[in-house]
Amino acid sequence: MTAPLYPLQFEDLIRRALAEDLGGAGDLTTDAIIPLRMHAEAEVVARENGRVAGLTAATYAFTLLDPAAKIEIRFADGEDAEAGATLALVSGRARALLSAERVALNLLGRLCGIATETRGIVRSLEGLKTRVVCTRKTTPGLRLLEKYAVRMGGGTNHRWGLDDAVLVKDNHRVVAGSITAAVARVRQAVGHMVKVAAEADTLADVREAVAAEVDVVLLDNMPLAMLREAVALVDGRVVVEASGGITPDTARSVAETGVDLISVGWLTHSAPALDVGLDVVTAAG
């Protein structure tokens, strides 16, 4: 069970999103139509089947505009909801509910979409040892929440940023002169707790990376036949990851080559948002 996020981790992000939407003049439509003291109750509803993720973070938008708002979460992150299900019940100042609606729904739909697609890929790999991981191809500013959504879908996170693991890519290799030289420089510069991975485009690269004693070999954009050869060549000595252009349609065939991990950037740069909505059920005052 993945630990829930603390408001401290997402409050600033949601505050900035609300400020962007409200601008300098506020919500012209809502402020003109809705009386200041009106109270309302609304349901956050799933319009289609999907995996829930980020519900507490998304509904925090209502709390920021109305600290007295009450949020009743009906589905925990990581649970599946059917179309028509009420994910949460929100009550508070009507103006706050309507003004925060789009920020809350944009974020919730985005995160539920990522979790839903991750769930689909994870399920497609049933019976195989391969795990699904995400990448750093995230929406600027949303990495923490998007990687959280991947976990809610049953996936695993790759490195979070440039500071928590080493990945020697092709451009590093060009500058250093070789994988061997790049890894040697890394070993001199980082601590013993830091994992080192190297990208490999060819079988010769794989041999060099293993000889350099990396922790992970990342097989980049290799055809299936070459992936199988690379897995056999490594023979369990290091972790083997396949990466590059993997989608829900190709994930199973890539995993069947025997790799330990498939990193799927598609999850955070191309997964469609889940359709969610806000329906006001009562208003008074």
* Active centre residues (catalytic): 102, 137, 169, 199, 220
How far is CA 31 from each of CA 22, 27, 97, 134, rounded to the nearest angstrom? Answer: 11, 6, 12, 41
Q: How far apart are CA 203 and CA 99, in angstroms?
A: 56
Dmax over Cα atoms in the chain, in whole Å?
73
**How many CB atoms within 10 Å of residue 43?**
17
Task: Count CB-CB contacts under 10 A for residue 28.
Answer: 10
Using CB atoms within 10 A of its CB, is residue 79 exposed (0-12), middle (13-18) or buried (19+)?
middle
How many CA atoms, within 13 angstroms, populate the side-chain half-sphere of residue 147? 22
* Alpha carbon distance 16, 97 (integer Å): 17
Q: Report CA-CA distances (Å) from 135 to 95, 159, 172, 254.
A: 38, 7, 18, 17
Write down the residue that tokens 């007295």 correspond to.
68
